[in-house]
């Protein structure tokens, strides 16, 4: 029997969605303190997410202890699966025993430190994609490969879907997805997923999640989490009539309650959009 027709397993080329943990310093104590501070407000948000350690933002000649970084990520319940590195970093990075991956991302992580600090305080890129490195190095630059933000499992989760998320690499935009309308409140632990836009007519309680590949419209207080454009749609927006959210995210760039909202948007009607990969929260004039 041909190995290609084996009923027991297949070996296929493919891509795997994962986060990129972009290392920008060799100071592990500072990194540990910031990681703890950043995620203590939402300890379950990245629970069991796979993550690739990205070394490309380190300056030439800088080295870090990858084993210590891997253990640090595991301490906040992330799962390191590999390393993204420049060819010059392969020799010392290989000592950690993690496989090398190639990443395709929007920002072009080959940028040196200080070249891109646009995410801002409390806002972090949560979307990236990584795939096994080819046997030989290639001179091609990383390209866009958007992925969905992987959200944490909540207790007693009740999920309403307007379709199943597409596998990476599948063609998008072939047809317009219908708008999902939810005409009841969402309790803590409930989660809504929409392949297009979603409209919520009731309260989104603390601990509830609204996730959409398109825009999110909430005509009630938003106290839980809202994640729009989860497959990398940077043009997606979030609209709500009362912003009190635990977490807001567009295309994987998120902001949590650890960064206080301005007085003109806290508890007010707002729209949230991206501008140069920075979240903008603007008052929404309803009259």
> Which tens digit of pLDDT belongs to each residue from 230-287?
888 999 999 999 999 999 999 888 888 777 888 889 999 999 999 887 899 999 887 6
Identify whether 141 is part of a domain.
Answer: no
In Å, what is the CA distance from 192 to each residue of 12, 24, 183, 239?
Answer: 32, 35, 12, 16
CATH number reported for the structural domain that contains residue 234 in this entry:
2.160.20.70
Q: For the chain, what is the domain count?
A: 2
pLDDT confidence of residue 107: 44
User: What is the extent of the structural domain holding 215?
Assistant: 158-164+172-283
Residues 126 and 200 in one domain: no
The answer to whether the pTM exceeds 0.85 is no
Identify whether 83 is part of a domain.
Answer: yes
205: alpha, beta or left, given left = phi > 0 and alpha = psi -120 to 50?
A: beta
Burial class (CB in 10 A: 0-12, 13-18, 19+), 258: middle
Identify whether 2 is part of a domain.
Answer: no
Which has the higher per-residue pLDDT, 16 or 108?
A: 16
Q: Give the whole-angstrom CA distance, residue 241 versus residue 286.
A: 9
Q: Give the whole-angstrom CA distance, residue 73 versus residue 51.
A: 8
Identify whether 138 is part of a domain.
Answer: no
Structure tokens at 103: 């990443």
Q: Give the whole-angstrom CA distance, residue 219 versus residue 199.
A: 8
CATH number reported for the structural domain that contains residue 29 in this entry:
3.30.70.260
Structure tokens at 120: 């801002």
Query: Which of 95, 108, 127 has its CA nearest to residue 232?
Result: 127
Which residues, 6 or more positions from 230, have their beta carbon under 8 angstroms from its beta carbon?
A: 127, 148, 149, 211, 212, 213, 249, 251, 252
Per-residue model confidence as pLDDT tens digits over 125-156: 444 445 444 333 332 222 222 333 333 333 33
For residue 106, pLDDT beyond 60:
no
Identify whether 242 is part of a domain.
Answer: yes
């Amino acid at each position: 029997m041909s190995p290609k027709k084996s009923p027991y397993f297949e070996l296929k080329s493919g891509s795997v969605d994962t986060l990129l943990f972009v290392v920008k310093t060799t100071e592990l104590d500072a990194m540990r303190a910031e990681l703890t501070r950043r995620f203590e407000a939402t300890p379950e948000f990245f629970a069991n997410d796979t993550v690739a350690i990205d070394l490309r933002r380190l300056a030439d000649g800088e080295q870090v202890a990858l084993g210590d970084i891997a253990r640090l990520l595991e301490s906040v319940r992330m799962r390191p699966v590999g390393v993204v590195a420049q060819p010059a970093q392969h020799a010392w990075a290989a000592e950690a025993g993690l496989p090398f991956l190639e990443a395709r991302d929007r920002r072009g992580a080959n940028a040196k430190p200080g070249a891109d600090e646009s995410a801002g305080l409390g806002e972090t890129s949560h979307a990236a994609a990584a795939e096994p490195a080819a046997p030989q190095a290639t001179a091609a630059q990383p390209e866009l490969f958007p992925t969905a933000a992987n959200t944490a499992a909540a207790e007693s989760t009740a999920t309403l879907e307007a379709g199943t998320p597409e596998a990476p690499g599948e063609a998008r935009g072939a047809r317009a997805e219908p708008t999902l309308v939810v005409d009841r409140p969402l309790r803590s632990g409930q989660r809504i997923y929409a392949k297009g836009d979603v409209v919520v007519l009731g309260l989104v309680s603390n601990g509830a999640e609204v996730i959409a590949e398109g825009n999110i419209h909430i005509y009630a207080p938003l106290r839980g989490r809202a994640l729009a454009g989860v497959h990398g749609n940077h043009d997606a927006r979030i609209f709500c009539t009362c912003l009190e959210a635990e977490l807001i995210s567009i295309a994987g760039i998120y902001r949590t309650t650890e960064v206080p909202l301005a007085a003109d948007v806290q508890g007010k009607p707002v729209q949230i959009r991206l501008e140069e990969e920075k979240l903008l929260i603007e008052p929404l004039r309803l009259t």
